[in-house]
């Protein structure tokens, strides 16, 4: 039977709870343990699939096709352990299940209440995670302690601790210890109060992880220990890291967090082996070259909207020991014949990510035209691929006014359109082509060279597809459909013949990229960008150290 580690957050949001939880996961793997990770979100949306990137950042898609919280991306990247549709659920989903059961009469006329019905449902859904052969399940609770909507979740995890026994459940609390400049001091009071809220519910944290911008002096650590009822050695500091979030597992290991956890559970395990991980960090900390990659998006000002894309670009850099400088370009800026904005300077590669709706579309098309005509390495993803097909149709195949029916329903050349299956759909939530789909690769293509395989499986999240009625015309003009569904019906990858590196995918390769296993397309894209920058070793360079 698996043990549970619950991770809560205090004081403020955006502390990096997902990264910290994922780092704990990596640490336990380094100790030879088998883990699973889940995230529960106390908000009422049934899933994040319909939420705006402005509100929620990127929607992460699991292999089995669930639209989930972006923290699952951190889990997969840090731990290499796949997540599934059971790895993330919201209060909305919990209520939905309970209300369905109530309508069905499952409760036999009982009064339905927060405790025990909602809390029981939460416990059932936490325990539904596949625990087969797993030593530890890490469960991150979204939101901040003190949020009204989080109360039932905290009650549920308190009960799991009671039912499993204290030696099989552990509570980590991530808190914020601010430095007040004017006073020249760090302050422990917000953390004290946040832990007090937890203790009111009946949860006493076993370790406190303190996010802070400065070192936490010994006297403050003692104070946190005393007032928060946590052993002094279990008050840890998680300062902002210098180079990369991937340093955090090492920071926590240096303070013996893995030892604290193993002793709590009474588990024996070999010493931590972080050698592959630290070798990877070494490649980030001491890069040999730099490339500048422009990312032309609609949410360029947001940190989290293209999280997995930015991470996958960095992984591509790790594979080549190169630093990837990401230049965020707002697509709208490029509309109406405008030039690169000055900050874009001399780019070595261009990436157009996924998206929905018309805003910025013409800017993306303009940027792609430039990349295609100038031989600038280009990588298009999902909407980015659809824009590439639109651009190619208009400017290489002579199909004036070509467009996607998503943004231009009455275009004369609907090169991107809805397949019949999707045309009937009215609900927006969870109704796209989602999750893993197989893709057959054309021998000799850039894609086949990158993967070194004949067929692959990649994750999707879209409704629109390349229109087969235009395929012959586009191919005659030099568009290579190098990846297709095994039945040949759906176009999954396109390339531009004779271009140094112009590859666009209908799927989202970024979701599968990991720092220890950079995605082959991102690796080769960065390789091509390095070649453009000069002195590069081109596509297909050595993968990262394990």
Binding site for ligand GLN (CB under 6 A): 354-356, 382-383, 406, 461-464
Q: Residue with CB nearest ligand GLN?
A: 354
Query: Which member of 117, 462, 508, 519 is catalytic?
Result: 508
Residue identified by tokens 């792609």 is 368
Straight-line distance from the first to the last Cα atom of the chain, in angstroms, rounded to the nearest whole number = 30
Is 489 assigned a catalytic role?
no
Is 417 assigned a catalytic role?
no
Nearest to ligand GLN of 366, 417 (CB atom): 417
Query: Which member of 210, 382, 439, 481 is catalytic?
Result: 382
Measured between alpha carbons, how far is 502 from 370 in angstroms, rounded to an integer? 12
Minimum separation from the CB atom of position 447 to ligand GLN (A):
18
Collapsing DSSP states into helix, strand and coil, what is residue 99?
helix
Nearest to ligand GLN of 349, 355 (CB atom): 355
Minimum separation from the CB atom of position 61 to ligand GLN (A):
9
Nearest to ligand GLN of 179, 356 (CB atom): 356
DSSP state of 348: S
Pairing of strands 67-68, 60-61: antiparallel
Measured between alpha carbons, how far is 525 from 538 in angstroms, rounded to an integer? 9
Nearest to 257, CA basis, from 26, 17, 3, 516 = 26
Measured between alpha carbons, how far is 362 from 360 in angstroms, rounded to an integer? 6
Nearest to ligand GLN of 207, 466 (CB atom): 466
Residues 138, 27 contacting (CB under 8 angstroms): no
| HEC string for 200-250 | HHCCCCCEEEEEECCCCCHHHHHHHHHHHCCCHHHEEEEECCCCCHHHHHH
Query: Which member of 173, 499, 510, 519 is catalytic?
Result: 510
Residue identified by tokens 């190169």 is 322
Residues 338, 365 contacting (CB under 8 angstroms): no
| Neighbouring-strand partners of residue 294 | 327, 350
Is 510 assigned a catalytic role?
yes
Q: How many Å is the Cα radius of gyration of the chain?
A: 25
Nearest to ligand GLN of 246, 378 (CB atom): 378
Minimum separation from the CB atom of position 39 to ligand GLN (A):
21
Nearest to ligand GLN of 350, 531 (CB atom): 350
Cα→Cα distances 442→194, 488, 491, Å: 56, 11, 12
Report, as residue numbers or ranges, the catalytic residues.
382, 508, 510
């Amino acid at each position: 039977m698996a043990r549970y580690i619950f991770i809560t957050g205090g004081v403020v949001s955006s502390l990096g709870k997902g990264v910290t939880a994922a780092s704990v996961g990596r640490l336990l793997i380094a100790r030879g343990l088998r883990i699973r990770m889940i995230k529960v979100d106390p908000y009422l949306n049934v899933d994040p699939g319909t939420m705006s990137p402005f509100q929620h950042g990127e929607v992460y898609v699991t292999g089995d096709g669930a639209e989930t919280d972006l923290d699952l991306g951190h889990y997969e990247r840090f731990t290499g352990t796949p997540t599934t549709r059971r790895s993330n659920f919201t209060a909305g989903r919990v209520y939905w299940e309970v209300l369905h059961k109530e309508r069905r009469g499952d409760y036999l006329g009982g009064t339905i209440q927060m405790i025990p019905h909602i809390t029981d449902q939460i416990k059932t859904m936490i325990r539904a995670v596949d625990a087969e052969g797993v030593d530890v399940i890490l469960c991150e609770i979204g939101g901040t302690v003190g949020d009204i909507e989080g109360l039932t979740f905290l009650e549920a995890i308190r009960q799991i601790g009671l039912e499993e026994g204290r030696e099989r459940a552990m509570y980590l609390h991530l808190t914020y210890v601010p430095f007040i400049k004017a006073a020249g001091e760090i302050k422990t009071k917000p953390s004290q109060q946040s832990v007090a809220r937890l203790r009111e519910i009946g949860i006493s944290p076993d370790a406190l992880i303190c996010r802070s911008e400065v070192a936490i002096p010994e006297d403050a650590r003692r104070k946190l220990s005393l007032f928060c009822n946590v052993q002094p050695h279990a008050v840890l500091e998680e300062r902002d890291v210098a180079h990369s979030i991937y340093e955090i597992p090492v920071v926590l290991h240096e303070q013996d967090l893995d030892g604290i956890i193993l002793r709590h559970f009474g588990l024996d395990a070999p010493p931590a082996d972080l050698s592959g991980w630290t070798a990877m960090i070494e490649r980030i900390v001491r890069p040999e070259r730099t490339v500048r990659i422009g990312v032309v998006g609609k949410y360029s000002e947001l940190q989290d909207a293209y999280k997995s894309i930015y991470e996958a670009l960095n992984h591509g850099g790790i594979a080549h020991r190169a630093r990837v400088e990401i230049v965020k370009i707002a697509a709208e800026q490029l509309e109406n014949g405008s030039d690169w904005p000055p900050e874009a300077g001399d780019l070595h590669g261009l990436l157009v990510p996924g998206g929905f709706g018309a805003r910025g579309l013409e800017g993306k098309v303009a940027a792609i035209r430039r990349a295609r005509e100038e031989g600038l390495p280009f990588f298009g993803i999902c909407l980015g691929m659809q824009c590439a097909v639109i651009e190619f149709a208009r400017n290489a195949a002579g199909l004036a006014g070509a467009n996607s029916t998503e943004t231009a329903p009455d275009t004369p050349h609907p090169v991107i359109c809805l397949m019949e299956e999707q045309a009937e759909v009215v609900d927006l939530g969870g109704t796209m082509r989602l999750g893993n789909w197989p893709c057959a690769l054309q021998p000799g293509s850039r894609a086949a060279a990158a993967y070194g395989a004949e067929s692959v499986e990649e994750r999707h999240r879209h409704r629109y597809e390349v229109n087969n009625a235009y395929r012959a015309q586009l191919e005659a003009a030099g568009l290579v459909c190098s990846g297709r569904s095994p039945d040949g019906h759906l176009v999954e990858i396109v390339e531009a013949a004779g271009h140094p590196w112009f590859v666009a995918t209908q799927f989202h390769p970024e979701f599968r990229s990991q720092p220890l296993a950079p995605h082959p397309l991102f690796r080769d894209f960065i390789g091509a960008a390095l070649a453009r920058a000069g002195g590069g070793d081109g596509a297909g360079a050595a993968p990262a150290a394990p």
